[in-house]
Structure 1
Amino acid sequence: MQTFRPDIEGLRTIAVALVIFYHYQFPWITGGFVGVDVFFVISGFVITRMLQNKLATGNFSFADFYTRRVLRLVPVFLLVSTVTFLCISPFYFDDDYYIFSKSWMAALIGLSNFYFFAELSQYFSPEAGTIPLLHTWSLAVEEQFYFFWPAAFLSLAALAPRLRLALFAVAWLAALALSIYLAHHHANAAYYLLPARIFELTLGAGVALFGAHAWRLRPWLAESFTLAGLTLILATALLLRSTSTFPGLNALWPTLGTALIIYAGMHRTTLVSRALSIRPLVFLGGISYSLYLWHWPPVALLNYQLIEIDWPIRLAMLVAIVPLSWLSYRFVENRFRYRRWSLKKTLGIFILIPLIAIWAVQVTIRTSDDISFRIPEERRELYKIISQQNPADLFKRCFKGRPYEFEQSGACIFGNRDVAQPDSMLIGDSHAMALLGFVEELIADTDLSMLVVTRASTPFLLEEDMRALDPDPTKAQRSAALQRYLEQRPMTVFVGAWWNAYLTKPGMHEAFLRSIEWLLQQGHAVVMLEGVPELPSDMFAHCLLKNMDSCEIDAGPVRERMAAFMALKQEMTQRWPELVWLQPAQVLCDATQCQTELDGLPLYRDESHLNYLGAREIGRRFLRGSPAPLLSQQRASGTETE
């Protein structure tokens, strides 16, 4: 039985080249992600041939199979992931750093596809492009296939040939139909999870199972098969887009093309197989696993740093990853893959011990109050402003805690503390809390005494509306508690929320109208806090740390995202002219651009929340252009006489 196919090594080169060219943003390679699907077919074929050889010689054992898989895949993964961890540590912040540690652990145990499916809205989303181990989802799919395929193979081998073929054909067609259905109705699950990819892996397995016993191809037919196969692979790589429905039927063409080349090569040597067997392609195919592992982390880091991938960077990365991959292939892959270790020893050294180490890293990142030591000293203070100036953390008692019994002590009183009871309140969610520094500056020279009562994802709505619109009962409890408190006496009430997010939900527009109407009916002077510009991603909050030439963002998309809020504001203004509107964005935006920093001070902590010092600076600048903006509120609350 033929054991080494140089043309398959050449196919591996095409597969990894398509993926690399796609991720490195080479022009025209808009569907290069199909290289992963080519790999799936090759893996299904190679693994099944290996199982056939073992079964024929009577040497198959499950322990040996899984030992070889771990020794083949895990050592070089540990090398690449550890180097990646060290390289990103000076640059990745807070949740991004923690997400890496979680994905690292998931990738080690072959579950990263489930992790990314749960965490990301879609594979091609902008946030996905900054995750250094995102590409390990495909390795997880293969590893999960390895868990069930040996047992399925042995079961098929025990059947009569015709029954085996019929059962396999029915199962494969069902798997293809499932992939088509999932791609149309559950796109994210289809992309990441094994069920939609089984038909690709088993297509390669089917060629191994039945290809040698099929009719021997005539030379012209073999040439046609391989030429058609190569055309299908390259055409889909050039014609598909990230917006194409995938995998499903669109994944059938490159996988069918791969199967045709492999099948024809079992019978004849063709022009295509000779071309695929040239030494440079065979060499690159041999190191393709290392190439695949090394190629993506630099792209993720560049995306995180908001560095455009231009031609010099593309070429530099290509030049770097080939020798790096050869070294890891030569000194790591080949050093361990042929070891005759027991399964217990293999799992202990390459799974259990690294898992404990990665878990320790993850816990440290999650629980440590200050890990800024990993940031270069010249950027450390900027990092601390962004990561450690979250008012929700600085004033936890005013943001966290029991929903129905919020904090009313002096710990949550801001402004004038020399009063028996506060005469104003700041209420709302985390976006209201993020504007605390802004409001503090506005009330600093007034007599207002402000109680802060905020809670994550909990805008101020009437209790009955909150129960109807949100299934979380604790949010309705908070609404009820606030209503009871606000019924006691007229106050100045500052209302903030993540308006853009809530107003995408049905019923929220009307619910906000009812909540403001209720506040006015209670005699409160209501001050509406408009939101700040939302950034394209939280990476822009770190622009000063990334040494970007400019920290400005386009004002056009900012205004577009606020369309629903502006409609709400217009209706509220028409109904209740007495409402006061405070617009922090007027400090940040002109007609074309919005700032994310002011004189070297970072303003944000993520894509939509200000940090505490940034909010205070915006408040100070707001006052310069709007003298005594709270005079009317003070009079309404009775803290200043006529």
Structure 2
Amino acid sequence: MTEVDADSVHPAEQARLTTATPTGRGLGYRFDLDGLRGLAIALVVVFHVWFGRVSGGVDVFLVLSGFFFTGLLLRRAESPEPFWAWSVVRRTLRRLVPAMTVVLAAVVVATVVLLPYTQWSTAAAQVLSSLFYYQNWQLALTWSDYLAADPSVSPLQHLWSMSVQGQFYLAALLAVAATAWLCARLAQPGRIRATIGAVVVAVSMASFGYAAYGVATNQGWNYYDSFARGWELLVGAGLAVVAPSLVVWRQVRVALSVFGVLGVVLCGWLIIDGANRFPGPAALLPVCATAAVILSATQLRFADWPWPNRLLAHPAMRWLGEIAYPLYLWHWPILIFFLTERGNTHAGLVGGIGVIGLSVVLAWMTHRWIEQPLRQRTAGSDDAGYTRSRHLVGSAVAVLLVATVTVTAGWQFAVVQVNPPVAAGELDSEKYPGAEALASGAEVPDEPMRPTVFAAPTEVPPPTADGCIADWDTRDVVTCTYGDPDADRTLALVGSSHAEHWLPALQVLATEHSFRIQVYLKMGCPLTLAEDASYKGEPIPDCRDWSAEVIDRLDADRPDWVFTTGTRPSDEGGDETPADYLHVWTALSDRGLNVVAIRDTPWLRRGTLRYKATDCLAGGGNRTSCGMRREDALDPVNPGLEPASAFPSVFPIDLTDAVCEPTLCAVAEGNILIYHDEHHLTASYSRSLAGPLGRELQPILGWW
């Protein structure tokens, strides 16, 4: 077995390690950790392509990253090299950035060629956030669903883990450098490991507690949170501190090795809802399994390795480990672009094999032609040839990096800063009749659609702009007043954003007929007393408690009417009034509150695939081709009618005929774009619904 210099190996590859004794003498190259990386990347790719579940492979990478990088830092800090920190930074950038640059440049090109221009700004923002290692925070702010591999998902969403690792690298470098400097000042250089070990233990315990709390309270954010993920990296860091001096009995090593390999392999099968449970206590399985594999062969030569470690050291597994980093970078964007072209949420057997095959080929090419030329020169290689190759690849990557940053930053500046989209504002009702074209047959002149596809995202209802809707992270009840604040009559607008998007229409009516609108709103949370409230598959643990408090507030505030949604889309197609809505109606009726339950508007989807009206229009579709068949979007009869008949104080209303044609739910009517995303009304179309809504409400409210 040929020994290698451990410092020549970088954590970006997450595979190489020379196990060191306290004196620093190497015992052998850990080919099994190459193989562990290969096993982890195979699980990640297979689970992403075919199973739509967390495999635990990313958690394996995080532990290994903490182990390798912290070990590298400690060896450098304990060496006499004066500027070791800068050499680590230089090496880190050389290992991480080139492959990332190539993949991001390819994604930029594919985005321009394959995706509608309405998605270019989002893609540009994610390219920049990936390059500068804050992608995880961008995803946390939008609660993106990591498992939702479909055309609506970013092709760069998987790079959240690289951002977490990059942030850890910086924090670990600063911590070790500061500790080394302090120990040198105190003339105690031998205390570096002990000090770092104490810090690792304290911070990892705090991180684990924080992650466990986040699973129960705010998992959408928790999944991407760097501090919540920190304990996984710190477990590896802790092993780097103690492994050189740790003695493990042979029988224990075998048990650790078997448990470790089985734990990694079975994690995705045993924990089927990892996206809703990691990085909380459930992540202990892949983390402990990885730690077990690391410890099982520490300070052993290859001849003494347990048999599972030997299996991991098989050449095929090691080869996968060699290309693991570029394979991780390539596989997700290829999958997303493939699904975009197919217009599907599943790759299928043949398609999945094609995605994996192409990913492996591109990963190998990136490893061979980008990573290897930039690595440290191997013994026996030609100095001049190596230098030329390294300079050529380095120059090409630098040009590609500058071009990628220039294009993406330039697009963002031009679209967001120089010419930002603006909401349509008040529209001429004769030129833009909107809903009245359907409801009353108003004439539709030949006018350009408003808002434009670029401006549509700005067409949000007032509470979103005013901060008067509780977001994902807010448990408190947020309430604001709209309409006529001095009016004697009050209508309470209650529920999720699908109640909120009726506010522009209600504001028109409030101005005409003098009533106050009091809002009680929370994102993704219709009034519900169900324990398992969720939105797009993401649990909202505080939705039930928020709803219960809102019901109590309504009882205390005593509005004249409560206005909320009475239906929602069904997973099988059409729409439904779920049982938990009836529980809410019961609670409101018991308190003597009158309820207007409006039928929800159609959600744009083809099968289970959600899509944005703006993307479809920008991709060459028109108002009808981008719409849905009415029979797919809604049941023939309002499903809220029958259950509402059991509640004398609940009055269902249905404005479907002001949103959909008899057989089609188009994405624009009366020259006004209906949706600003997959399922929320534009403020302009909502205002055009004031007439039809007023005619429905008049006999119920009796206010005009």
Q: Normalising by the residue count of structure 1, what TM-score does the alignment of the two structures yield?
A: 0.67
In the alignment, is residue 58 of structure 1 matched against residue 80 of structure 2? yes
Q: Deviations over 1:172-216 (max 9, x none)?
A: 333322322222222123210111111111111111211110114
1:504-543 residue pairs with structure 2 within 5 A? 504=527, 506=550, 513=561, 532-536=601-605, 538-539=610-611, 541=613
1:84-103 residue pairs with structure 2 within 5 A? 84-103=107-126
Counterpart for residue 354 of structure 2: 316
Q: Deviations over 1:89-111 (max 9, x none)?
A: 23323543321111111111100
* Equivalent in 185, 193, 210 of residue 225 of structure 2: 193
Letter in 1 for 2:217: H
Taking a change above 3 Å as real, the CA distance of residues 349 and 53 of structure 1, as seen in their structure-2 partners, is farther
Counterpart for residue 45 of structure 1: 67
Counterpart for residue 233 of structure 1: 264
Separation in structure 1 between the aligned mates of residue 241 and residue 523 of structure 2, nearest angstrom: 56
* Equivalent in 313, 319, 331 of residue 369 of structure 2: 331
Taking a change above 3 Å as real, the CA distance of residues 302 and 462 of structure 1, as seen in their structure-2 partners, is farther
Separation in structure 2 between the aligned mates of residue 322 and residue 563 of structure 1, nearest angstrom: 49
Counterpart for residue 355 of structure 1: 405
Counterpart for residue 131 of structure 2: 108
Separation in structure 1 between the aligned mates of residue 72 and residue 651 of structure 2, nearest angstrom: 75
Separation in structure 1 between the aligned mates of residue 74 and residue 193 of structure 2, nearest angstrom: 14
Separation in structure 1 between the aligned mates of residue 41 and residue 399 of structure 2, nearest angstrom: 29
Q: Secondary structure at the match of 1:83?
A: helix
Q: Secondary structure at the match of 1:281?
A: helix
Separation in structure 2 between the aligned mates of residue 126 and residue 558 of structure 1, nearest angstrom: 26
Contact 1:538-1:606 within 8 A present in 2 as well: no
Letter in 1 for 2:229: R
Contact 1:466-1:476 within 8 A present in 2 as well: no
Separation in structure 1 between the aligned mates of residue 649 and residue 212 of structure 2, nearest angstrom: 50
In the alignment, is residue 607 of structure 1 matched against residue 681 of structure 2? no
The alignment's C-alpha RMSD in Å is 5.2
Contact 1:30-1:239 within 8 A present in 2 as well: no
Taking a change above 3 Å as real, the CA distance of residues 586 and 296 of structure 1, as seen in their structure-2 partners, is closer
Contact 2:263-2:285 within 8 A present in 1 as well: yes
Contact 2:675-2:681 within 8 A present in 1 as well: yes
Separation in structure 2 between the aligned mates of residue 86 and residue 565 of structure 1, nearest angstrom: 51
Q: Deviations over 1:560-593 (max 9, x none)?
A: 99767998999999989xx99671466355xxxx
Shift in Å, 1:137: 0.3
Letter in 1 for 2:209: A
Q: Which moved more, 1:51-60 or 1:153-162?
A: 153-162
Q: Which moved more, 1:90-99 or 1:246-255?
A: 90-99
Letter in 2 for 1:270: P
Letter in 2 for 1:357: V
Shift in Å, 1:162: 5.9
Contact 1:461-1:512 within 8 A present in 2 as well: no
Shift in Å, 1:367: 7.3
Taking a change above 3 Å as real, the CA distance of residues 98 and 573 of structure 1, as seen in their structure-2 partners, is farther
Taking a change above 3 Å as real, the CA distance of residues 211 and 501 of structure 1, as seen in their structure-2 partners, is closer
Q: Deviations over 1:261-306 (max 9, x none)?
A: 1122223312111111111111111111000000001222244453
Taking a change above 3 Å as real, the CA distance of residues 573 and 435 of structure 1, as seen in their structure-2 partners, is farther
1 or 2, which has the higher helix percentage?
1
Counterpart for residue 625 of structure 1: none
Taking a change above 3 Å as real, the CA distance of residues 271 and 113 of structure 1, as seen in their structure-2 partners, is same
Taking a change above 3 Å as real, the CA distance of residues 597 and 515 of structure 1, as seen in their structure-2 partners, is closer
Separation in structure 2 between the aligned mates of residue 512 and residue 586 of structure 1, nearest angstrom: 30
Taking a change above 3 Å as real, the CA distance of residues 461 and 538 of structure 1, as seen in their structure-2 partners, is farther
Separation in structure 2 between the aligned mates of residue 445 and residue 50 of structure 1, nearest angstrom: 70
Contact 2:599-2:638 within 8 A present in 1 as well: no
Q: Deviations over 1:439-468 (max 9, x none)?
A: 6x712399xxxxx9x974149854465899
Separation in structure 2 between the aligned mates of residue 83 and residue 112 of structure 1, nearest angstrom: 18
Q: Deviations over 1:226-273 (max 9, x none)?
A: 111111112212111236422111111111111111122223312111
Shift in Å, 1:14: 1.1
Overall identity of the aligned pairs, in %: 20
Taking a change above 3 Å as real, the CA distance of residues 461 and 99 of structure 1, as seen in their structure-2 partners, is same
Taking a change above 3 Å as real, the CA distance of residues 303 and 128 of structure 1, as seen in their structure-2 partners, is closer
Counterpart for residue 626 of structure 1: none
Contact 1:500-1:565 within 8 A present in 2 as well: no
Shift in Å, 1:42: 0.9
Separation in structure 2 between the aligned mates of residue 85 and residue 45 of structure 1, nearest angstrom: 33
Counterpart for residue 24 of structure 1: 49
Counterpart for residue 31 of structure 2: 6
Q: Which moved more, 1:275-284 or 1:565-574?
A: 565-574
Runs (5+) with no aligned partner, structure 1: 371-387, 399-410, 416-425, 427-432, 447-451, 488-497, 517-527, 620-628, 637-642
Contact 1:500-1:564 within 8 A present in 2 as well: no
Q: Which moved more, 1:37-46 or 1:229-238?
A: 229-238
In the alignment, is residue 293 of structure 1 matched against residue 292 of structure 2? no
Shift in Å, 1:123: 3.5
Q: Secondary structure at the match of 1:443?
A: coil
Contact 2:437-2:444 within 8 A present in 1 as well: no
Taking a change above 3 Å as real, the CA distance of residues 570 and 550 of structure 1, as seen in their structure-2 partners, is farther
Taking a change above 3 Å as real, the CA distance of residues 148 and 205 of structure 1, as seen in their structure-2 partners, is same
Taking a change above 3 Å as real, the CA distance of residues 97 and 357 of structure 1, as seen in their structure-2 partners, is closer
Taking a change above 3 Å as real, the CA distance of residues 274 and 150 of structure 1, as seen in their structure-2 partners, is same
Q: Normalising by the residue count of structure 2, what TM-score does the alignment of the two structures yield?
A: 0.62
Contact 1:175-1:195 within 8 A present in 2 as well: yes
Shift in Å, 1:225: 1.2
Runs (5+) with no aligned partner, structure 2: 1-24, 181-188, 377-386, 446-450, 452-457, 464-481, 496-501, 515-520, 528-546, 565-596, 699-704
The alignment covers a number of residue pairs equal to 525
